[in-house]
Amino acid sequence: MIYYDKLQEALPLFQALDSEIRLRILELLMENRKMNMNEIARAVGLSNAAISVHMKKLSAAGVISISSVAGKRGTQKVCYLNEDTILIKLAEEFPGRESYDTEFNVGCYSNYQVTPTCGLSSHDQIIGALDQPQFFASPKRFQADILWFTQGFVEYLIPNYLNGGQTLDEIQISFEISSEAPGFCDVWPSDIYFYLNGTELGYWTCPGDFGERAGRLNPEWWPRVNQYGLLKLLTVNQLGTFIDGLPLNDVTIQDIKTDTAAGFLFRIAVPEHAKHIGGLTLYGTHFGNYSQGIRVKILYH
């Protein structure tokens, strides 16, 4: 999911899509998942030089990724569709609302319970040892830019800066996430559940643990395992709970127990009762495709 909170931020996207050729390229990538530049040029009837101009515009808008891979006749450029959803927020539901933002590393959890396969790593090195849950308690976890486990949860404390005279309207939480397979597997469904202050918000089924190509931000030493995830936006407001703008549950912000003296406890879990126990991986600022940790926006009046 590509999300734009403001219309002006989406200008590069509009410019990239303002072309029948580029729309045809996106259709080809949706049909074929990945194609090299030569294949795309032949499919649309353009030279390699001409197609490169269009690909640069789509890449700059974040719609596609281009990777150089070794082929039978030297290096070739392979193109992938980054996401299958684009969400643009055109207007505030409640004009005049105030808000504050916060962001924290994926290792800044306040509580956890995990089972192998599991692990966490900073941008420089693995923290502790692989498949040893006890290292999730290490003080070095705060440096973690990626973590993964097969079953269990991590829970984050989101600060609550509201005072007694202010009313909570909406919470938005965005994160990059995938399943967790041994090694990697692009088709590896996992039911990932979300909770806020102990209230279950519902679950989303992640399609896989993506490793076919390298994550854009991954360090060079990172092995051929989970490489990147999907950027998801979880929203709880007065109308219900949504993921990427689509209804997830009828739980509203009024159903969430809040206390101005405490924060909001946000839990991401793969519980034992899930139908698809495929684990989860969370990507931080220096892993995956998106340079962010867990971002939170609180809207209130």
Please report the DSSP string for the chain in residue order.
-EEESSGGGGHHHHHHHS-HHHHHHHHHHHHHSEEEHHHHHHHHT--HHHHHHHHHHHHHTTSEEEEEEEETTEEEEEEEE--S-EEE--S-SSTT-EEEEEEE-TT--SEEEEESS-EEE-SSSBSS-TT-GGGGGSGGGGG-SEEEESEEEEEEEE-----TT--EEEEEEEEEEE---SS-BSS--EEEEEEETTEEEEEEEE--BB-SS--TT--TT--SS--B-EEEEEEEETTEEEETTEEEES--GGGS---TTS-EEEEEEE-TT-SS---EEEE-TTSSSSS-SEEEEEEE-
Domain 2-81 has CATH 1.10.443.10: no
Q: What pLDDT, in 10s, does the model give residues 68-113?
A: 777 666 778 888 887 777 878 776 655 668 999 999 999 999 999 9
Two domains, one topology: 2-81 and 92-300: no
What are the structural domain ranges in the chain? 2-81, 92-300
- Residues of the chain with pLDDT below 70 are 1, 71-73, 91-96, 260-261
pLDDT score for 83? 73
pLDDT score for 230? 93
Q: What pLDDT, in 10s, does the model give residues 137-152?
A: 999 999 999 999 999 9
Q: How far are the Cα atoms of 3, 17, 175, 217, 291 from residue 105, in angstroms, in the given order?
A: 20, 33, 10, 15, 11
Q: Tell me the whole-structure pTM to 2 decimals.
A: 0.82
pLDDT score for 92? 62
Phi, psi values for residue 218, rounded to 5°: -60, 140
- In the CATH scheme, what architecture does the domain 92-300 have? Sandwich (2.60)
